[in-house]
């Protein structure tokens, strides 16, 4: 640990450039016409009192127990002091004083911090030891909270230090670092929420990076949910939720502060401008948000003006933010970071295998065929029908419908399963009616939007499906399933720009999702970018059941246009490493020999064999004829058999005997 004494300010003054109102974040105490600014006074914008003069001198004994060593910093509620606890082995502690001893709201906030923190025990929340009072020069008692010493820098200071390096007040932190901070903050908030407490004042200033851990400090605004009685001072403008005054403290209000904190750190912006909250920038004006759409969607949901549309809990936000972090890291270094969804099961099948038969003109998926291959939302294990649905997981849709018909009061999960059953038998109308009833009972439930999208695909309406899946993605920005569904629906609708964007977002962190790789390849081939298609196909791992299919398509992509000998031999090497069924093997090898034919006639001199055949026109023609005739014998229809035999006859080497 760094020596705490080293953190003591030698000259405890707040520089004029750092004097801001604790309420509106406007400059206060600034000099004018060469005269220094006031250390005490009132904010000219909103009248809030400010005081930048330390109340305790070095050597002061507070509460008969805590010996002041000096000032550490100036925070929202005044100066923060380093002291030693004479009653407990001279351990290091922190005393935090009030902003204004005459301010009853500030005093109430400090009392709240003592009362609630005494019951809090979490590794990411500062520990409170005591609450004491000490008289000022006029004899008025000033309250001090005694907390554990947490050495380190606030997240606000990290943003400021980045700004200094580039000559600005603030500058953004790396996005993976910002998200990681959020993922450490959210469990602490979740813990408080589990105790029925709202934090109310999350901001970068109130989070300390301590060794390899973050700690929430400055807990003066902690109150029970919905209890705003007796307080005038809550949170910080620019972070505080717009609904706080009307709805009171709540998890949703805290979620809003997390979103604003992430925005400030990721964009390096002030939370206020002209005394008003800085709006979240449009991606068109902010490159980071344009490049990382999923992170932008996280911020949008966390800071939604409607508290009911924000993340339902700190745990839910952390779950989605984890998915976004995997996506961001994969985009930065190209390394896959697959994860298991907590809300969706895996895709039951792949929809895009046969669409790359002709790499020169890839087919588009059929929306009706796509619908049953999409991932299915996981069943809520707390639902009363969860056990029943688990035992009936392989039941035919007709059985599910009969079961629901004899159930007096079907649960939510059973009703959702009924929607699926209607779609599985192609009864879109009944599914939509059931969804309409569910929407009435479950307003804002993303599963209704999900099955609305699946119903639209089943009906062949890809554009309506795109709209529905986009709504799901706004709710679950860290999930791969809505991105895959949105990409597929957009491709069905002919919108390759949207399809390609979301296939890529799925494929980079999750190459095990084969449909994303195949979809990205189709979009790239239609755009005339075979190198991108090849790279997408190569993300499918050898352990995947779709690996051989991806590699055979990759071979066709490599030899699909004008090809030189080096590319041809690289394609042949791929074929040689694959274990293919007979029919596919004959077809792929024939395509390689066909591509080699114009090359062998244009080259002179000895060359290595190609797939075991000599690099001569005679050798390549003979090998091609052999593969075509073998393929004809395995053909399942007469027309294909005849075509292959005719082609073999036309390509066979000329015989002079």
Residues 135 and 204 in one domain: no
pLDDT digits (tens, 9 = 90+) for 589-615: 999 999 999 999 887 668 899 999 999
**176 contacts 183 by C-beta, under 8 angstroms:** no
Q: How many residues does the chain have?
A: 657
Q: Highest mean pLDDT: which of 76-90, 113-127, 568-582?
A: 568-582
Within-domain flag for 528: no
Residue 440 lies in a domain: no
pLDDT in tens, 429-457: 999 999 999 999 999 999 999 999 999 99
Please give the helix or strand (H or E) that residue 615 lies within, else none. Answer: none
Q: Are residues 176 and 253 in the same domain?
A: yes
Where is average pLDDT lowest: 50-54, 238-242, 521-525? Answer: 50-54
- State whether the Cα torsion 623-628-629-633 is positive or negative: positive
> Both 52 and 183 in a single domain?
no
Q: Are residues 16 and 160 in the same domain?
A: no
Same domain, 181 and 137: no
For residue 359, being part of any structural domain is answered with no
Clarify whether residues 178 and 207 are in a common domain.
yes
Distance of CA 575 to the CA centre of its chain: 38
pLDDT of residue 105: 66
The model's pLDDT over 164-220, given as tens digits with 9 standing for 90+, comes to: 988 888 999 999 999 999 999 999 999 999 999 999 999 999 999 988 899 998 776
Same domain, 160 and 223: yes
pLDDT at 99: 45
- Pick the residue with more confidence: 25 or 179? 179
Query: By the 8 A CB rule, do 84 and 90 touch?
Result: yes
pLDDT digits (tens, 9 = 90+) for 291-346: 999 999 999 999 999 999 999 999 999 999 999 999 999 999 999 999 999 999 99
Which domain range does residue 135 map to?
A: 4-148
Q: Measured between alpha carbons, how far is 242 from 231 in angstroms, rounded to an integer? A: 17
Residue-wise DSSP of 433-467: HHHHHHHHHSTT-HHHHHHHHHHHHHTT-HHHHHH
Q: Do both 23 and 117 map to the same domain?
A: yes
Residue 511 inside a domain? The answer is no
Contacts of 185 (CB under 8 A, 6+ apart): 124, 202, 207, 214, 216, 258, 261
The reply to whether 217 and 317 lie within a common domain is yes
Pair (319, 181) in one structural domain = yes
* CA atoms of 126 and 208, how far apart (whole Å): 9
Sequence-distant (6+) residues with CB within 8 A of 633 are 641
User: Is it the case that residue 225 has pLDDT exceeding 80?
Assistant: yes
Instruction: Please give the Cα distance from 312 to 43 (Å, whole number).
Output: 37
* Average confidence (pLDDT) over 26-52: 90
List the CATH number of the domain containing 245: 1.10.510.10
Closest CA to 618 of 597, 603, 632, 602: 597
Contact 267, 292 (CB under 8 A): no
- Between CA 484 and CA 452 the distance in angstroms is 15
**Listed residues 107, 127, 148: the one ending a domain:** 148
pTM to 2 decimals?
0.88
Please classify residue 32 by burial: count the beta carbons closer than 10 Å to its beta carbon, then call 0-12 exposed, 13-18 middle and 19+ buried: exposed
Structural domain count, the chain: 3
- 90 shares a domain with 177: no
Q: Backbone dihedral region of 208: left (phi > 0), alpha (psi from -120 to 50 degrees) or beta?
A: beta
- Given the residues 100, 103, 138, 201, select the one marked as catalytic: 201
The DSSP secondary structure of 80-123, one letter per residue, reads EEEEEETTTTTEEEEEEE-S-TT-HHHHHHHHHHHHHHTT---T
Q: What CATH number does residue 57 fall under?
A: 3.30.200.20
C-alpha 657/C-alpha 655 separation (Å) is 6
144, 94 in Cβ contact below 8 A? no
Burial (CB count <10 Å: 0-12, 13-18, 19+), residue 349? exposed
Estimate to the nearest angstrom the gap between the alpha carbon of 209 and the chain centroid.
Answer: 22
209 strand-pairing partners = 153, 214
pLDDT single digits (tens) 376-423: 999 999 999 999 999 998 899 999 999 999 999 999 999 999 999 999
DSSP state of 308: G
pLDDT at 463 over 80: yes
Q: Greatest CA separation found in the chain?
A: 123
Q: Work out the pLDDT band at 111, boundaries 50, 70, 90.
A: low
Contact present, 480 and 341 (Cβ < 8 Å): yes
Cα-only R_g, the chain: 33
Per-residue pLDDT, averaged over 256-261, amounts to 98
**Which of these three, 333, 348, 376, is where a domain ends?**
333
Q: How far apart, in whole angstroms, are the C-alpha atoms of residue 553 and residue 517?
A: 12
Q: Is residue 578 part of a domain?
A: yes
The CATH number linked to 620 is 1.25.40.10
Domain presence at residue 228:
yes
Q: CA triplet 300, 304, 307: central angle to 5 degrees?
A: 145
Query: Has 201 been annotated as catalytic?
Result: yes
Domain match, 99 and 176 both:
no
DSSP class of 281: P
Asked, for residue 398, whether it belongs to a domain, the answer is: no
Give the mean pLDDT of the chain. Answer: 92
Q: Is 276 exposed, middle or buried (0-12, 13-18, 19+ CB in 10 A)?
A: exposed
Residue at a domain's end among 333, 368, 388: 333
The SS3 assignment for 277 reads strand
Q: Residue 233 in contact with residue 181, Cβ under 8 Å?
A: no
DSSP string, 354-369: GGGSSTTSPPPPPHHH
Q: Does residue 386 belong to any structural domain of this protein?
A: no
What backbone phi and psi angles, to 5 degrees, belong to 422? Answer: -60, -40
| 213-216: strand order across its sheet | 153-154, 207-210, 213-216
**Backbone φ and ψ of 498, nearest 5°:** -70, -45
Distance CA 466, CA 491 (A): 10
Q: How far apart are CA 163 and CA 204, in angstroms?
A: 14
């Amino acid at each position: 640990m760094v020596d705490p004494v080293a953190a003591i300010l030698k000259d405890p003054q707040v520089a004029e450039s750092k004097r801001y109102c604790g309420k509106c974040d406007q400059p206060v105490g600034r000099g004018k016409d060469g005269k220094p600014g006031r250390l005490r006074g009132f904010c000219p914008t909103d009248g809030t009192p400010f005081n930048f003069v330390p109340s305790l001198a070095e050597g002061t004994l507070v509460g008969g127990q805590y010996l002041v060593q000096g000032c550490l910093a100036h925070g929202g509620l005044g100066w923060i002091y380093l002291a030693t606890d004479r009653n407990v082995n001279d351990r290091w502690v922190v005393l935090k004083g009030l902003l204004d001893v005459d301010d009853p709201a500030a005093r109430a906030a400090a009392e709240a911090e003592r009362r609630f923190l005494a019951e809090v025990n979490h590794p990411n929340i500062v520990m409170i030891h005591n609450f004491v009072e000490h008289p000022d020069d006029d004899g008025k008692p000033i309250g001090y909270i005694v907390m554990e010493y947490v050495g380190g820098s606030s997240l606000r200071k990290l943003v400021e230090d980045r700004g200094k390096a580039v000559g600005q007040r603030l500058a953004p932190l790396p996005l993976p670092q910002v998200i990681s901070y959020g993922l450490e903050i959210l469990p602490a908030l979740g813990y408080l929420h589990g105790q029925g407490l709202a934090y109310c004042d999350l901001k970068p200033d109130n989070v300390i990076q301590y060794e390899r851990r973050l700690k929430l400090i400055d807990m003066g605004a902690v109150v029970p949910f919905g209890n705003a009685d007796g307080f005038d001072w809550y949170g910080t403008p620019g972070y505080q939720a717009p609904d706080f005054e009307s709805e009171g403290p709540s998890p949703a209000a805290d979620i809003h502060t997390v979103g604003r904190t992430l925005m400030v750190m990721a964009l390096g912006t002030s939370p206020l401008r002209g005394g008003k909250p800085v709006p979240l920038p449009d991606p068109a004006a902010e490159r980071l948000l344009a490049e990382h759409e999923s992170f932008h969607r996280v911020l949008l949901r966390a800071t939604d003006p409607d508290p009911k549309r924000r993340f339902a809990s700190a745990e839910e936000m952390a779950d989605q933010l984890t998915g976004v972090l995997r996506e961001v890291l994969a985009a930065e270094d190209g390394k896959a970071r697959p994860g298991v969804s907590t809300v969706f099961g895996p895709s039951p099948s792949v929809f895009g295998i046969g669409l790359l038969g002709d790499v020169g003109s890839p087919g588009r998926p059929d929306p009706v065929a796509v619908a049953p291959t999409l991932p299915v939302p996981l069943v809520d294990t707390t639902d009363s029908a969860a056990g029943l649905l688990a035992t009936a997981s392989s039941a035919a849709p007709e059985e599910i419908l009969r079961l629901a018909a004899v159930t007096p009061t079907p649960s939510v999960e059973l009703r959702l399963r009924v929607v699926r059953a209607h779609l599985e038998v192609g009864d879109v109308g009944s599914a939509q009616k059931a969804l309409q009833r569910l929407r009435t009972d479950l307003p804002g439930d993303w599963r209704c939007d999900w099955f609305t999208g699946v119903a639209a695909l089943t009906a062949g309406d890809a554009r309506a499906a795109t709209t529905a899946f986009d709504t799901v993605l706004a709710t679950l920005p860290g999930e791969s399933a809505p991105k895959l569904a949105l990409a597929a629906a957009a491709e069905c609708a002919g919108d390759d720009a949207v399809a390609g964007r979301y296939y890529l977002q799925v494929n980079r962190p999750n190459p095990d999702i084969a449909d994303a790789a195949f979809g990205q390849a189709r979009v790239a081939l239609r755009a005339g970018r075979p190198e991108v298609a090849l790279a997408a196909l190569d993300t499918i791992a050898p352990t995947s059941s779709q690996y051989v299919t991806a590699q055979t398509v990759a071979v066709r992509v490599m030899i699909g246009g004008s090809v030189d000998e080096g590319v041809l031999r690289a394609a042949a090497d791929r074929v040689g490493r694959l274990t293919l069924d007979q029919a596919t093997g004959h077809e792929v090898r024939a395509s390689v020999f066909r591509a080699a034919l114009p090359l062998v006639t244009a080259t002179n001199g000895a060359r290595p064999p190609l797939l075991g055949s000599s690099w001569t026109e005679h050798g390549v023609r003979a090998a091609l004829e052999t593969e075509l005739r073998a393929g004809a014998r395995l053909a399942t229809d007469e027309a294909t058999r005849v075509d292959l035999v005719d082609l073999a006859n036309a390509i066979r080497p000329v015989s002079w005997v």
